[in-house]
Amino acid sequence: MTDSMLALSQDEFGGPEVLRLTSLPVPRPSVGEILIRVRAASVNPVDVYNRERGVLIGQLPFVLGWDVSGTVAAVGPGVTIHAPGDEVFGLLPFPRGHGAYAQFAVGPARAFVPKPDRLTHVEAAALPLAGLTAWQALVETAGLGAGSRVLITGAAGGVGHLAVQIAKARGAHVIAQVSPDNAEFVRSLGADELIDYTTTPDFTAVAGDLDIVLEAVGSYAAQAVAALKPGGVLVATLAQSLAPVAEDAARQGVRAVSLLVESDRLGMTALAQLVEDGLLTPTVAATYPLGQAGLAQSTKSGPGKTVLVIDKELA
C-alpha cells in the first residue's frame, strides 16, 4: 500500500480558497481502528463553519469531513468485526475525528458498519452524519413512535429528508415544512402534511398539538414551543436557537434540547437496516471531485446531500 495520499487540507481559516489539495502520509490504524480507502465523503454545513473559523475542531492545519464510505484497507490490533476488502460506511468521531476529505481515513472500527448493497458508495456517504442526526434526535432523544405527531423544518435538506423517512418508518404522522419547489419531493418521501413556508411563515397557524419538532433550520424555535403540547419535545440542531425560548418552553412543559451528533454503531446499524428494508434512501443532489470541495461547499444544491467522489472509478 502507498505511503502517501491526496487530502484536502487547510492551514488557515477562510473561504473556499483555503482548501488545498496536498500530499500527506497515509494514517496508520491503531488499536481498535480501521484504515479506510475512501470512495466518497459528503459535504455538511458544519464543514463550512469549521473551514471559516474552526468552531469545533481546534488547531490548524486539518482535513475536514466526517462522512465516509469506502473499503477497509487495513485493520489495527484487536479488530475482529472488519477485514481488509470489506465495504463499510460510517461517521468519523464527531467533532474531533475529522479527516474524510482524503483518499484514506482512519477511525474506530465500531463507528463503521457494512455498506448496504442497495446503496452505491456515493449514496452511502450521504447518510451517516445527517442520518444519525435525524435518528438520534427523533428516536433516541424524543422517543418518536407509532402515532407521534412530528413536525420537521427544512424537510428537503440533508437532515430533513432523512428525518421524514425515519419518522414514517416508525409510524409517525409527519408534517413537513418545505418550499414550493420541493413539495412533491418531500411528499414522495411519505410526508402526511406539507406546510409551504413562503405562504405560511408561521406554522402555528396550521399545525398544533405536536409531540415532537425537529428544528433543523434555526429560525423556528419559538413557533415550535408554541405548537408543541405539554410534554412535547423540541430538538434543535443549532444550539444558539434555544436560548431565547428556554423560559417559554419550561413554562409550557416543553423539553427543548440541542443535539450534536455522535458516531454510533447502534444507530448506523439501524439506518442500514432501514435502507435494506427499502424504508430509507438518501438523496444525492450533486457530486464533485475531491479537488472541487470548495465549490461543493459554496454551491447551493438540493434537495438532499452533496457528495465528494474521492475515487470515481469505484464509487
Q: What pLDDT is recorded for position 292? A: 95
> On the CB side of 120, how many CA atoms lie within 13 Å of its CA?
17
Q: What pLDDT is recorded for position 2? A: 83
Residue 74 has pLDDT above 50, yes or no: yes
The single-letter code of the amino acid at 141 is: T
Cell of 87: 465495504
Q: Tell me the mean pLDDT in the region 87-115.
A: 97
Helix (H, G, I), strand (E, B) or coil at 309: strand
Residue 313 has pLDDT above 80, yes or no: no
Q: What is the mean pLDDT of the chain?
A: 96
pLDDT (tens digit, 9 = 90+) per residue, 15-49? 999 999 999 999 999 999 999 999 999 999 999 99
Of 96, 106, 160, 165, the closest CA to residue 133 belongs to 160
Residue 61 has pLDDT above 90, yes or no: yes
Enter the pTM of the model. Answer: 0.96
Helix (H, G, I), strand (E, B) or coil at 288: strand
Rounded to the nearest angstrom, the gap between the alpha carbon of residue 86 and the centroid of all alpha carbons in its chain is 23
Q: What pLDDT is recorded for position 315? A: 47
C-beta separation of 219 from 197 below 8 A: no
Residue 300 has pLDDT above 90, yes or no: no
CATH superfamily of 130-258: NAD(P)-binding Rossmann-like Domain (3.40.50.720)
Of 273, 271, 213, the closest CA to residue 67 belongs to 271
* For the chain, domain boundaries: 4-127+282-309, 130-258
Residue 282 buriedness (CB in 10 A; 0-12 / 13-18 / 19+): buried
Handedness of CA 41, 293, 94, 239 (dihedral sign): negative
Residue 312 has pLDDT above 70, yes or no: no
Q: What pLDDT is recorded for position 314? A: 46
Of the listed ranges 49-58, 140-149, 242-251, 272-281, the least confidently predicted one is 49-58
Enumerate residues 6+ apart whose C-beta is below 8 A from 225. 234, 245, 248, 249, 252, 254, 256
Q: How far apart are CA 106 and CA 30, in angstroms?
A: 9
Q: How far apart are CA 95 and CA 90, in angstroms?
A: 14
CATH superfamily of 4-127+282-309: Medium-chain alcohol dehydrogenases, catalytic domain (3.90.180.10)
pLDDT (tens digit, 9 = 90+) per residue, 186-217? 999 999 999 999 999 999 999 999 999 999 99
pLDDT (tens digit, 9 = 90+) per residue, 255-299? 999 999 999 999 999 999 999 999 999 999 999 999 999 999 999
Banded pLDDT at 90 (limits 50, 70, 90) = very high
Of 235, 265, 214, 258, the closest CA to residue 91 belongs to 265
